[in-house]
Amino acid sequence: MTDQELNATAYHEAGHAVMAFSLGRPVEKVTIVPGKMQFGGTRLGACKIQKGRTKSTKDWLEDEAIILLAGMVAESHFTGKYCTAGAAQDLRAVERLAESRLGSSFGNQRQFDRLIKRWIDKTHYILEDEIYQKAIRWIAEELIEKSTVSGRAVRHFFNQANRSK
């Protein structure tokens, strides 16, 4: 990976981690160590969220979509553009969530596109917050230095960003 790809991947994974943590989903670890994906292919990094431990939210499905989109959105704040190729797996998962949400009305492409755009806009809005930006930057810097960051470190950086406001 080039330095630019490494930095973009670090911001991408940090975006997932910060959004997951902010929505009450405990993060187990975040890494920019490349590896194999479950169904073939290679991933550049990963944000592992702890299973079974979530806080109640109003809309679990939307939260899942926003966590998935947060990587691409955080990366775009760093690079200035969306990297849909790097977020392809996340985007496929978001599309499945949108299909699930729309159910039998999925045949309406405009409605499908509007839902995904609304989720992307909401993700941008949330991640534009100064606290989230700091936490993402600090986690990305730590990932670049150490390659893997624990969930405990994610919580620490998020809390530090919150205190520095």
Residues 63 and 44: their CA atoms lie apart, in Å, by 23
Domain residues for the domain of 107 are 3-163
Domain count, the chain: 1
pTM of the model: 0.89
How many whole angstroms separate alpha carbon 157 and alpha carbon 48?
Answer: 17
CATH number of residue 133's parent domain: 1.20.58.760
Catalytic amino acids? 13
Check pLDDT > 70 for residue 42: no
- pLDDT 10s digits, 100-141: 888 765 567 888 899 999 999 999 999 999 999 999 999 999
- Answer yes or no: is pLDDT of 39 > 50: no
- Burial class from Cβ neighbours inside 10 Å (0-12, 13-18, 19+) for residue 112 reads middle
**Model confidence band, residue 71 (pLDDT cutoffs 50, 70, 90):** very high
Q: Report the largest interatomic distance among the alpha carbons of the chain, rounded to a whole angstrom.
A: 47
